[in-house]
A and B are shown apart, each in its own frame.
Chain A
Amino acid sequence: MSEAVVWLTIFVLSVFVGIEVISKVSSTLHTPLMSGANAIHGIILLGAILVTGYAEDTVQLVIGLVAVVLATVNMVGGFVVTDRMLQMFTRKKPKPVKAEQNGAGL
């Protein structure tokens, strides 16, 4: 198998996995899903680090560093904001917890 075909294989299989894993998503979670997927493509940071690490002149270095900053904003911001949203979906009703605490204090 030639190398290009190996890459093509990975690509095609990933397409199917990508569709399959979200095919049953409820519309309740569309916003966090978009935001989470958004964070995942922040992995371009890896590419930005590689090209910056091999930069040969100042122009390349500056462009590379800009790419690193942008990619990090994408990745870190994406995961943090998704977590913030999901935290609200998993939060338990506060009432019973409070009652217990009050009981313990008496």
Chain B
Amino acid sequence: MSETPVWAQLVYLAAAVLFILALKGLSSPKHARMGNLLGAIGAVAAVVAVFFYADLDNIIAIVVAIAIGSAAGAVGARRVQMTQMPQLVALFNGVGGGAAALVALLELGNMTGAGEDPAGFALVATAFTIVIGSITFSGSVITFAKLQELMTSRPVVFPGLPIVFALGVIAAVVLSVLTVVEPMVTVGVVLSLLGLLIGVLLVLPVGGADVPIVISLLNAGTGLAVAASGYILENTVLLVGGTLVGASGTFLTLLMAAAMGRSVSNILFGALKGGSTLGAGVASDRPVRSGGPEDIAILLGYANRVIIVPGYGLAVAQAQHTLRELVDVLGERGIHVDYAIHPVAGRMPGHMNVLLAEAQVPYEQLKEMDDINAEFKQTDVVLVVGANDVVNPAAKTTPGAPIYGMPILNADEAQQVVFMKRSMRPGFAGIENELLFDPKTTLLFGDAKDSLGKLLSAVKAL
């Protein structure tokens, strides 16, 4: 392999700086788009540079492959609905991990074929990339299948799964050591197959509500695999880019797990111990108070302070636009309305913000949990649309409940609570919500879009 010339190394340095600026920019809505653009410029510059210094064969085939990948990626990214964003991110992450594993396998072939004595560290990095890349690939595919509902989103556990998983991990460690001591391509191939198996077994027992955390974790994993491949190929931009993603992804995973009041290991292995978010999932027949759109319209129309708690049900019904119209009308009546966004509302952390932004809700109206929780006490009406678990007081009051310890929105502290629900079926966590039976709660049954439409006309008629 030819040496990387100084000018190319400087391009890589610039690309690495642009990646840092990209992540930095993504921290605030103002600079985020520019940040993302900088990251893209850095990536393109680094990729273009390699064609100018490396003495590559097969250039036409490579360019065609890039064209195919670009078309597929761009079309997928343009066509995806915002509700399907989590599975798309999972898929893009998976293919990145797969690519890293393939690169490491080929590099292992080069190392063993060249007759040189490959360095120990490079072999450690190679084994690492093969295993982690394969895990993130198959893990992401299963994640995609769960979110796309190609398979059940409930935890899948079969007897002996922990044992098979443990054996797989042990075998992977043994073969990794073997790869370092006595590098062979066949061992590398077996190692990648083991990685695929571990990835599947890792994600199968994770329940639907926890899948987002797993996406974030796998994302971090791919980052680290790419970083390791940067060491193998002696390429700084791969090392820095991969490490940035690995570190920030790990940190983000921990932040999200904290927002759900659970540890990462509990999320991954909870189902194996029987302590998962898997609840009964049956509808209750206890009496509740339900009201018509006109009743709710009066509650809302004569309130001073209203907080909306949107959940994934809102997005499923594609009712974001109707909800925004309702909020606009309430705003015109001089009512102070905000949206309270739970960190894990939707199917992915921050997902609800994206869905509401798509409906042109100004992000100033989107309040984070910690900022708005103190305000529920002074709130006249809380309107919960398609959400359930994130306002379930059991998280605070019932030790032993699957969601116990998860920080929730304090909707129960408001004067009045209105739930818009399709049915009495419990939420993702599968447990009953006591707030539904509270005397200050009114339920409006039906499809969210339908109900919001009726509510909107009723408020306009006031």
Asked if B226 and A29 make an inter-chain contact with CB atoms under 8 angstroms apart, the answer reads no
Asked if B343 and A27 make an inter-chain contact with CB atoms under 8 angstroms apart, the answer reads yes
Asked if A47 and B54 make an inter-chain contact with CB atoms under 8 angstroms apart, the answer reads no
Across-interface contacts of B113 in A (CB, < 8 A): 56
Dominant secondary structure at the A interface:
helix
Asked if A19 and B1 make an inter-chain contact with CB atoms under 8 angstroms apart, the answer reads no
A53 to B146, CA, bound (A): 37
B47 contacts partner chain A, Cβ-Cβ < 8 Å: yes
Across-interface contacts of B106 in A (CB, < 8 A): 51, 55, 60, 63-64, 67
B29 contacts partner chain A, Cβ-Cβ < 8 Å: yes
Asked if B36 and A82 make an inter-chain contact with CB atoms under 8 angstroms apart, the answer reads yes
A77 to B43, CA, bound (A): 13
* Cross-chain contact of A49 among B28, B56, B119 (Cβ < 8 A): B56
A77 to B73, CA, bound (A): 4
Across-interface contacts of B30 in A (CB, < 8 A): 90
What sequence of 0s and 1s flags, for each residue 190-233 of chain B, a beta carbon within 8 Å of any chain A beta carbon? 00000000000000000000000001100100110011011101
* Cross-chain contact of B20 among A21, A48, A52, A73 (Cβ < 8 A): A21
Closest Cβ of chain B: how far from A44's Cβ, in Å?
Answer: 5
A8 to B61, CA, bound (A): 35
A45 to B62, CA, bound (A): 11
For the A-B complex, the count of residue pairs with Cβ-Cβ distances under 8 Å equals 376
Across-interface contacts of A52 in B (CB, < 8 A): 56, 58, 61-62, 65
Asked if A74 and B348 make an inter-chain contact with CB atoms under 8 angstroms apart, the answer reads no
Asked if A33 and B99 make an inter-chain contact with CB atoms under 8 angstroms apart, the answer reads no
Across-interface contacts of A15 in B (CB, < 8 A): 243, 246-247
Asked if A50 and B39 make an inter-chain contact with CB atoms under 8 angstroms apart, the answer reads no
Considering only residues 245-270 of chain B, those with a C-beta below 8 Å from chain A are: 245-249, 251-252, 256, 259
Across-interface contacts of A22 in B (CB, < 8 A): 23, 26-27, 248, 251-252
Considering only residues 15-66 of chain B, those with a C-beta below 8 Å from chain A are: 15, 19-20, 22-24, 26-30, 32-33, 35-37, 39-40, 43, 46-47, 50-51, 54-59, 61-62, 65-66
Asked if A25 and B27 make an inter-chain contact with CB atoms under 8 angstroms apart, the answer reads yes
* Cross-chain contact of A44 among B58, B62, B74, B229 (Cβ < 8 A): B229
* Cross-chain contact of B103 among A30, A61, A67, A85 (Cβ < 8 A): A67
B130 contacts partner chain A, Cβ-Cβ < 8 Å: no
Asked if B238 and A43 make an inter-chain contact with CB atoms under 8 angstroms apart, the answer reads yes
Q: Which residue of B is nearest A35, CB measured?
A: B89
Known contacts A34-B215, A70-B98, then 7 further A-B pairs from the complex at CB < 8 Å, ordered by chain A residue:
A4-B119, A15-B246, A15-B247, A32-B26, A70-B95, A78-B92, A83-B40
A interface, CB within 8 angstroms of B: 4, 7, 10-11, 14-19, 21-56, 60-61, 63-91, 93-94
Cross-chain pairs A/B with CB under 8 angstroms, 24 sampled: A15-B246, A19-B247, A22-B251, A25-B27, A26-B368, A29-B27, A31-B351, A32-B354, A38-B245, A41-B96, A42-B96, A48-B102, A49-B51, A50-B50, A72-B73, A73-B95, A74-B73, A75-B69, A76-B69, A76-B77, A85-B354, A86-B32, A89-B32, A90-B32
